[in-house]
A and B are shown apart, each in its own frame.
Chain A
Amino acid sequence: MDRQQDTQASDARPVLEGPDIARVLTRIAHEIVERAKGADDVVLLGIPTRGVFLAQRLAAKLEEITERKISLGSLDITMYRDDLRMHPPRALARTEIPGDGIDGRLVILVDDVLFSGRTIRAALDALNDIGRPRAVQLAVLVDRGHRELPIRADYVGKNIPTSLRETVKVMLAEEDGRDTVLLGAKQTSQ
């Protein structure tokens, strides 16, 4: 088990490093302000685990730019997944909706990697049970392609063309001790 992880780590090569991630998030924050015309009614919802940290960082940058408090929360999509019946039940993560709700607001979902699009589909279902936003947008750090649903991101940190045999691993200081995005080969045994 440990040995396998070691091989994976040594095979994987970084495609985004710490400073790149910071620059990418700064750019996305500016894009949000531009497109949302000042980001007055923006609510950032991070999708656990790493989407939450990205949303926190984005909120800090948006507050720097707009000098206003940005609504920030998290949205756990576990209970809305379409593959629940294919795995043992997963541990739930925190859903934290800001006190003033999402009705009539511009909700921006934040996730680390956009892949099949199924997570975002589940997130849209979850939002439906929580309120009715004015609009929903999606910000991701990495878009690796291979969509299985008609879903696209509004703000993309970096497009990384991948094959299905590859894995994309986002590591963030809050969770993994350092900031990096690794592109590696999938374990054939799995």
Chain B
Amino acid sequence: MQRHLISAADLTRDDAVLILDTAEEMARVADRPIKKLPTLRGRTVVNLFFEDSTRTRISFEAAEKRLSADVINFTAKGSSVSKGESLKDTAQTLEAMGVDAVVIRHGASGAPYRLANSGWIDAAVINAGDGTHQHPTQALLDAFTMRRRLVGRDAGIGQDLAGKRITIVGDILHGRVARSNVDLLHTLGAEVTLVAPPTLVPVGVETWPCEVSYDLDSTLPKSDAVMMLRVQRERMNAAFFPTEREYSRRYGLDADRMARMPEHAIVMHPGPMVRGMEITAEVADSDRCTAIEQVANGVSIRMAVLYLLLGGNEPAVSHTRIEEK
């Protein structure tokens, strides 16, 4: 029995729809005077962040607190990790403290998988982003935002994203967000097109369940949602394109390009946005841009995941993953 959330690819369609439906109910808690549910009272969740992150950590923390879990924040900086402690020892320390779930962000792809499958700990492991691999809760909150905007809040209950055309633009090579989104959106029946300069498309992309294009302008009129990804300067060790200006002219979303999208289409951005680079301020501030909504939806999605993994005596999400040999 699996009780972890490591990769968006592990989720079946029914699991994903259950998480989205649960998040829809969780979202209503935010409108109440007391934004708290007693559901995870007495459960301890550790936010184990080996990589810098503000919004994901705060989002998880808000979700955990709204469900009444006890929250411990652990950042690698200034901790025993900077003194040379291994992941195994850190994990076993947490286990000894009686932790029920570990939310982990790690620079190395596969670290959450290792933690979940090594037998070091009994706690549920939730991947909050590992290297260039996966960021499943981001993909879930993006899918949730799309379903709310493109299908409808109430009309969307029980529905997937069948037939919706999603375009993901930007740094696919370094982006765990793109990979998680491709996996989940494919599971939910959407058609995904990746748009990026050839240098920012990973090797092996032809095995992904999506299309790849190098031309943004021809893709925009056929999109129900356009997701702009940040060009991750901190991961750029080599020159992937001549200048930022050139990137911005070919792959940036400005008002002219937005006008070419269908009337109902939305612009998404997982944040943090670099205004003037992949998105202009005019687009970022328009009604069609869901960046702020995505942040709010992130808390609802993380509440749903935490509830479904920790709320009962066993998880409600049934994974179909291959065991480590």
Contact = CB atoms under 8 A, between A and B. Distances in A.
A35 interface: no
A122 to B, nearest CB: 10
Interface in B250-270: none
A179 to B, nearest CB: 25
Contacts of B307: 79, 89
Contact of B18 (A85, A91, A125, A129): A91
Interface stretch (A58-66, A92-100, A155-163): A92-100
A83 B153 CA distance: 30
B61 interface: no
B58 interface: no
A99 to B, nearest CB: 11
A87 B316 CA distance: 9
Nearest to A93: B25
Given A84-B312, A88-B316, A79 B32 contact: no
B38 A79 contact: yes
A14 interface: no
Contacts of B308: 89
Interface in A97-129: 97, 125, 129
Contacts of A87: 312-313
Given A80-B38, A129-B36, A88 B25 contact: no
Nearest to B307: A89
A91 B304 CA distance: 10
Contacts of B312: 84-90
B315 A130 contact: no
Do most interface residues of chain B lie in helix, strand or loop, or is the interface mixed?
loop
A88 B315 contact: yes
Interface string B282-325: 00000000000000000000000001100111111000000000
Contacts of B33: 129-131
Contacts of B26: 92
B191 interface: no
Nearest to B18: A91
A130 B316 contact: no
B25 A76 contact: yes
Contacts of A95: 25, 28
A89 B34 CA distance: 22
Given A89-B307, A94-B25, A130 B18 contact: no
Interface string A114-155: 000000000001000111000000000000000000000000
Contact of A79 (B21, B37, B313, B315): B37
Given A86-B313, A95-B28, A130 B21 contact: no
A130 B28 CA distance: 11
Nearest to B154: A94
27 contacts: A79-B37, A79-B38, A79-B39, A79-B311, A84-B39, A84-B312, A85-B313, A86-B312, A88-B312, A88-B314, A89-B312, A91-B18, A91-B22, A91-B316, A92-B21, A92-B25, A92-B26, A94-B25, A95-B25, A95-B28, A97-B32, A125-B38, A129-B33, A129-B34, A129-B36, A129-B37, A131-B33
Interface of B: 18, 21-22, 25-26, 28, 32-34, 36-39, 307-308, 311-316
